[in-house]
A and B are shown apart, each in its own frame.
Chain A
């Protein structure tokens, strides 16, 4: 007996789950940058490179999720 039938791709749910971790990670990266440059404003320029690098590395995980959501089973 079908109590509740859902249609669509489960990949959507999977990508939603995959985005949680990188979301927290990106938040941590930016929080650390803001805190560092608030405590020591003269280090803001130096830290910005590492901000972008850290952001890009963390964000990659979310993007893997996106790509896989499309690549596997369309």
Chain B
């Protein structure tokens, strides 16, 4: 019943980490991923420039879209997480959201098929910017000592507990936060690409099996690949939203008054 799966010669099966390294386009510095990042940067810049070249009171479609994205980030993310003081961060978070969204969507665009965020380097840079941002905001607003005290020392705790709590709080605020921020985006895109590989490549592997039953069953694999592509679209939007919401939340805790 299980059918001997004869793997076709050139199909990379099972999918592995090596599938995330397509051959360089030109030299080690120009890869598919750097080109995609430049493309994403270009798309975001051109989109917002075009949308606001000639703003009208009754917006055109492009202007409406740009304003919706900005409105979403400003009202539902910045204001909700940071209060009214957070609105001045809204432009940065809008750009961050748009950039992550575009690069994530690349994972299901035909021809590109992989998100640059599926490589840990890109999420690390994005999360490092958020890290520096919330540290700088906190230090600038409260001063270094007060900010450290605020983020390390919990009020209303019996003093011996601080020996336990201060290391935990330090780990939480200065180590775990940026690492999880980067890792979450990376792992989602990584897992998504792997999932799509499993179903599409697996479909071809099943199709090339020498067993009629397995060949017919490959249809389900291709159907699952299509379903997973839509699921990837959902994940792409959700992860962009989550990344920006968490960044805003961290900046919000830096902005907060002493508790």
Contact = CB atoms under 8 A, between A and B. Distances in A.
Given A49-B76, A49-B80, A74-B17, A67 B183 contact: yes
A52 B190 contact: no
Interface of B is mostly: helix
Contacts of A59: 184
B224 to A, nearest CB: 19
B238 interface: yes
A39 B178 CA distance: 36
Nearest to B188: A63
Contact of A60 (B80, B180, B190): B180
A73 to B, nearest CB: 12
A30 interface: no
A66 B187 contact: yes
A38 interface: no
Contacts of A64: 183, 187
B115 to A, nearest CB: 15
B5 to A, nearest CB: 14
Contacts, number: 41
Interface of A is mostly: helix
B191 to A, nearest CB: 6
A56 interface: yes
Contact of A66 (B16, B191, B242): B191
Contacts of A28: none
Interface string B60-80: 000000000000000010001
Contacts of A55: 242
Interface in B6-21: 16-17
Interface residues of B, number: 19
A49 B245 contact: yes
A27 interface: no
B190 A66 contact: yes
Nearest to A65: B187
B249 interface: yes
B238 A60 contact: no
Contacts of B187: 60, 63-64, 66-67
Contacts of B188: 63
Interface of B: 16-17, 76, 80-81, 180, 183-184, 186-188, 190-191, 238, 241-242, 245-246, 249
Pick the 3 closest A-B CB pairs, nearest first: A63-B187, A56-B242, A60-B184
Interface of A: 49, 52-53, 55-57, 59-60, 63-64, 66-67, 70, 74
Given A53-B242, A60-B184, A64-B183, 8 more contacts: A52-B241, A55-B242, A59-B184, A63-B184, A63-B188, A63-B191, A67-B183, A74-B16
7 contacts: A52-B241, A52-B245, A53-B249, A66-B190, A67-B187, A70-B17, A70-B190
